[in-house]
Amino acid sequence: MYRRWKFQPKARGTALQSLYEQPIIKSAKGFSKTRFLVVDCEMSGLDSNTCQLLSIGWVVIEHGRIINSTGKHLLIHADRGTGDSSRIHGLLDNRIAGANSAASVLMLLIKQMQNSVLVFHHAPLDMKFLQKASIDNFRCPLIFSYVDTMEIERRRIQMQGKSSSLRLAQSRQRYGLPDGSQHNALADAQATAELFLAQVSYLKTGEKLSLSDLGLRCAF
Amino acid sequence: MVSEAGDVKSFLAQQHPFNHLTESLLDFVSTNIQVAFSKSGSEIPLSTTDKNEQLAGIIIVRSGSMEIRSHHGELIDRLSSGDYLIPEVLTDGEGHNPQVVVLEDCLYYELSNYAYQSLKSSSQEFSSLSSPEISNESDSAEDNNQGSGQSTYLNQYIKETMSSSVVCAEQSISIRKAAQMMTEFRITSLLIMDSEKLVGIITDRDFRTRVLSKAVADTEEISHVMTPNPMCIDEHSRLHDAQLTMMSAGIHHLPVLRDEKPVGVISLSDVLRANNVEPLSLAKGIKSAASIKELSIAAKGVPGLVIKLIERNDRAVEVGEIITSFADAITRRLLLLAEEKFGPRPCDYAWLAFGSQARQELMLGSDQDNALILPDGIGDKEASYFKEFCEFVNAGLNECGMPYCPGEIMASNEKWRLSLSGWCECFSNWIEEPSPKALMFSSIFFDMRHIAGDSKLTENLQNYVLSRAEKNTIFLALMSGNSLLHSPPLGFFKTFVLENDGDHNHTLDLKIRGTIPIVDIARNYALSASVAEFNTVARLKAIKKLGIMSNEMADSLVDAHDFIAGIRLHAQAEQYRQQIKIDNHLDPVQLSPLVRHQLKAAFHQVREAQAAMKVRFSGGLL
């Protein structure tokens, strides 16, 4: 709350203003009444100081359904070489050349974030890069509520007294979800969304499942 | 911006019926998809009281499985990855919705009802789906087999092919007058009448063989030289039936009747015109072969012809009948050649075919199963004549593409060259003391068909066997139990159970797993009710008529049989083209999702019929 108050004047007049002004999402809100924005980022490496965002993919969940038409995959123009992970993501410098600026991609993302809870698989990494990009471009961090499917999975595994891999692919396998053929920010966002629905269906006791049951947090 | 198609579109693009959509329609569908997940045990609602909640137009399973039960709790279908259901189709006339329950954690796609409705109006594939897709699998299987509306020649009716005008003459006219009429009307056959009734037929060939060569005076009555009481065919029969009748009887003309009155004639050449593949010319080659060598050359044409029939999408049952008719013709020719070689038969005999040849369900590469019935009380001289005789015929069949039976079920084996009373004793032992081996023999020998020789011998044996088997409930129970050993290859409904022996890893044996269970069911019911039919489809129809099997089950078994046989044939055609050994193994991966889906449904029906059979016949053991 403190940071929200601190940055609000700064955010005024920027793309972030609407985010700062929207009411905070209550943790008692029901799952099926909430709009979720499932986000996945691809970066050129793990260190947000030396590496940068390459692409962002997202998809929306409403009424407990993934809305396929909301899927977006946006490439971000890179200043530096793409580094090692380009081999994994299949993104090459020359393909990224025609991509969007980080600022324009963030502005599209912010539009989608309105009145939504974000969903990540392993949120800290994606958030570190998103916040850095936001501060670089708008001098303010993003402000939002989110849940982390990796944390949901960690709790579930701990409850069962097991220790298993929490990676996206292995977590999906435990719910019988199909192996994805593609590997990019959108495909991973969709894969995370499917995992999220699967987790929710197992957490659901009765009809009422609130955001606090899902471990809702606030970005800062 | 890169492709946003994602997983949904690429998955749908591989699934029936979405794989038939144009790119733009596929885009339309995938943008209107919503993805949902339900854990096992939960129910997917097909109706709602909440007005805000939109119901899906189509539900497509992405992973996991679900089952649909009618509101009475009866299983309608089970769905796994790639299968779909349409709630609109499932709702019955009284507005009852079936129950859809998730069996294994299920990720599924919902297409909004709005999108489904507009898809229906813009895609033929989808408008045809609104007819029941689930409870009536057999219909779609049949449609598929018959191609897209193009009629194959075997499905044409005689009416369309026969000569439209019929020329008749009274039986009292002279031979000369008959010849003049035929010349005048430019016809090759003349129907001979006794006022309104057909009593005979005379053909061009008869003038040569019965008049000129015998120096009969042309003033005599035509009735003296005509073929009396000719074989006829009803005008509603199919061309295929006419062809089979002519091929098996060795005749070239068939009068066509409507209400017992002649309305036309169908000739060999009419059939040839309708059928550019000309199986008849092949049949002719077989009939005129003067040695095993010539016969084997003629027989080499059979697989090629069969492939053409398969490519033209002829129904599998009919292709089986045609292959069988060639096998019969080759056998008959060999029997004649044997008599030419070893001299005329010293006594009567009956040559029998067993197994698939008896059922008229031969496939390519089937081996021979045959035997001989001799009259009672023959001497050593006759016995040694028939030893050589049968060895010659079996060797000839082997040359002509019907390999020796690995189980030695052949007339050359003295165990299966018995007198009528010997055969009766044999069957009686099997029925009274059914050992595992006896049951195995029974399943082969109970399908018997007379091929050549004295048909009375065969009839006597068949009647004896039917009367003995019908009464013996223990035997029937054991037969039924024995046939349950061959189960349809469905694992817990989700996957095919694949063979795991050396050469055939990960394949389906369509014969043992698909055809034989149906054949066994039909045989067991037929035996229990003294049905004398030997063909599986004919048996099922007779059983249905007698009311000992429900109409639905009999119909669905007939369809499943035809469908599985069709897949077997297509797989064999592919093996023939690739010049690899023809067998009954199939890798399910080679099938399209639709065919896989239908095959599973067919196996499912077989399994249900097996369960019903078990209940019906296990009584004898309790």
DSSP letters, B361-380, are ---TTPPP-EEEEE-SS--H
Contact residues on chain A for B62, CB-CB shorter than 8 A: 178
What band does B68 get if pLDDT is binned at 50, 70 and 90? confident
* Each residue's pLDDT tens digit, A99-135: 688 888 999 999 999 999 999 999 999 999 999 999 9
The rounded mean pLDDT for chain B is 80
**Cα A60 versus chain centre, distance:** 11
Mean pLDDT of B399-412: 88
> Is A23 within 8 Å of chain B by CB?
no
Q: Residues B519, B521, B523, CA angle at the centre, nearest 5°?
A: 70
Please identify which residue in the block is written with the tokens 């003295």. Answer: B414
Highest average pLDDT, of B75-84, B128-137, B268-277, B356-365, comes from B356-365
Chain A contacts in chain B segment 428-467 (CB below 8 A):
none
Alpha helix positions (H), B300-411: 301-311, 316-342, 355-358, 380-399
A25 and A211 Cβ atoms separated by less than 8 Å: yes
Mean pLDDT of B377-384: 86
* A-B C-beta contacts closer than 8 Å: 83
CA atoms within 13 A on the CB side of A5: 2
**Cα B1 versus chain centre, distance:** 55
- Number of helical (H) and strand (E) elements in chain B, helices listed first: 26, 19
Q: Which pair of tokens denotes residue B605? A: 């029906």
B89 and B129 Cβ atoms separated by less than 8 Å: yes
- pLDDT of residue B579 exceeding 90, the answer is no
- pLDDT of residue B500 exceeding 60, the answer is no
Alpha carbons B394 and B400: distance in angstroms, whole number: 10
Probe site for chain A from B3, B4, B32, B101 (most A CB atoms < 10 A): B4
Alpha carbons A103 and A167: distance in angstroms, whole number: 30
What are chain A's domains? 36-218 (3.30.420.10)
Tell me the angle at which helices B455-471 and B420-432 cross, rounded to the nearest 10 degrees: 20
The CATH class that applies to domain B472-622 reads mainly alpha
* Each residue's pLDDT tens digit, B420-477: 999 999 888 888 887 888 888 888 888 889 998 888 899 999 888 888 887 787 888 8
Contact residues on chain A for B33, CB-CB shorter than 8 A: 68-69
User: Considering only alpha carbons, which residue of chain B is nearest residue A32?
Assistant: B53
Say which range, A179-188, B195-204, B578-587, has the weakest mean pLDDT.
B578-587
Please identify which residue in the block is written with the tokens 């009999």. Answer: B554
Alpha carbons A29 and A31: distance in angstroms, whole number: 7
| pLDDT given at position B147 | 34
Q: Which residues contact B397 (CB under 8 A, 6 or more apart)?
A: B327, B330, B331, B334, B368, B370
Contact residues on chain A for B36, CB-CB shorter than 8 A: 64-66, 197
Mean pLDDT of B381-391: 90
Q: Which pair of tokens denotes residue B157? A: 């009716």
CATH number of B6-135: 3.30.70.20, 2.60.120.10, 3.40.50.150, 1.10.10.10?
2.60.120.10
* Each residue's pLDDT tens digit, B84-116: 888 877 776 666 778 888 888 899 999 988 888
What percentage of chain B reaches a pLDDT higher than 90? 10
Round the CA-based radius of gyration of chain B to a whole number and report it: 29
Q: Which residues contact B444 (CB under 8 A, 6 or more apart)?
A: B354, B355, B369, B407, B409
| pLDDT given at position B372 | 92
Please name the member of A55, A73, A182 whose beta carbon is closest to the beta carbon of B7: A182
B361 and B322 Cβ atoms separated by less than 8 Å: no
Cβ <8 Å between B33 and A68: yes
Q: What is the DSSP string of B30-83?
A: HHTEEEEEE-TT-EE-S--S-TTSPPEEEEEEEEEEEEEE-TT--EEEEEETT-
Q: Which residues contact B600 (CB under 8 A, 6 or more apart)?
A: B490, B493, B496
The phi and psi torsions of A47 (rounded to 5 degrees) equal -95, 115
Residues with pLDDT less than 70, chain A: 1-3, 78-99, 181, 205-207, 220
Cβ <8 Å between B2 and A176: no
Mean pLDDT of B394-415: 88
* Each residue's pLDDT tens digit, B54-63: 678 889 999 8
> Is A65 within 8 Å of chain B by CB?
yes
Q: Which pair of tokens denotes residue B366? A: 């089937």
What band does B131 get if pLDDT is binned at 50, 70 and 90? very low
Alpha carbons A28 and A186: distance in angstroms, whole number: 29
Cβ <8 Å between B7 and A180: yes
| pLDDT given at position A67 | 93
The phi and psi torsions of A74 (rounded to 5 degrees) equal -120, 130
Residue whose C-alpha is closest to residue B37's, from A124, A32, A195: A195
| Burial category of B296 from C-beta neighbours within 10 Å (exposed 0-12, middle 13-18, buried 19 and up) | middle
Cβ <8 Å between A198 and B37: yes
Cβ <8 Å between A182 and B6: yes
Contact residues on chain A for B31, CB-CB shorter than 8 A: 68-69
* Each residue's pLDDT tens digit, B282-298: 777 777 788 888 888 88
Q: Enumerate the β-bridge partners of residue B154.
A: none
By DSSP bridging, strand B448-453 and strand B56-69 are: unpaired
- The residue ranking higher by pLDDT, B155 or B117, is B117
Contact residues on chain A for B63, CB-CB shorter than 8 A: 176-178
**Cα B386 versus chain centre, distance:** 33
| pLDDT given at position B94 | 67
Residue whose C-alpha is closest to residue A82's, from A105, A55, A109, A120: A55
Mean pLDDT of B343-357: 90
Query: One fold for both B6-135 and B277-419?
Result: no
| pLDDT given at position B273 | 59
Q: How many residues does chain B have?
A: 622
- pLDDT of residue B370 exceeding 70, the answer is yes
| pLDDT given at position A39 | 97
- pLDDT of residue B135 exceeding 60, the answer is no
Alpha carbons B589 and B301: distance in angstroms, whole number: 31
Please identify which residue in the block is written with the tokens 């199909």. Answer: A178
Say which range, A143-152, B363-372, B576-585, has the weakest mean pLDDT.
B576-585
- The residue ranking higher by pLDDT, A39 or B219, is A39
Cβ <8 Å between B37 and A68: no
Alpha carbons B530 and B469: distance in angstroms, whole number: 8
Alpha carbons B380 and B78: distance in angstroms, whole number: 63
B11 and B62 Cβ atoms separated by less than 8 Å: yes
Residue whose C-alpha is closest to residue B295's, from B398, B369, B385: B398
> Is B35 within 8 Å of chain A by CB?
yes
A45 and A84 Cβ atoms separated by less than 8 Å: yes
Q: Where are the domains of chain B?
A: 6-135, 157-267, 277-419, 472-622
Q: Which residues contact B15 (CB under 8 A, 6 or more apart)?
A: B60, B82, B84, B593
Q: Which pair of tokens denotes residue B249? A: 């009887």
- pLDDT of residue B141 exceeding 50, the answer is no
Q: Enumerate the β-bridge partners of residue B449.
A: B353
- pLDDT of residue B339 exceeding 80, the answer is yes
Probe site for chain A from B1, B2, B15 (most A CB atoms < 10 A): B2
- pLDDT of residue B356 exceeding 80, the answer is yes
| Burial category of A122 from C-beta neighbours within 10 Å (exposed 0-12, middle 13-18, buried 19 and up) | middle
Cβ <8 Å between A176 and B31: no
> Is B41 within 8 Å of chain A by CB?
no
Alpha carbons A51 and A46: distance in angstroms, whole number: 7
Cβ <8 Å between A201 and B10: no
Topology of domain B277-419, CATH: Beta Polymerase; domain 2 (3.30.460)
> Is B30 within 8 Å of chain A by CB?
yes
- Which residue type is seen at B569? L
Q: Which residues contact B430 (CB under 8 A, 6 or more apart)?
A: B438, B439, B441, B442, B445, B475
Strands (E), A44-106: 53-62, 65-75
Please identify which residue in the block is written with the tokens 């009629």. Answer: B151
- The residue ranking higher by pLDDT, B211 or A90, is B211
CA atoms within 13 A on the CB side of B206: 24
**Cα A32 versus chain centre, distance:** 19
To the question of domain B157-267 being in CATH 3.40.50.300, the answer is no
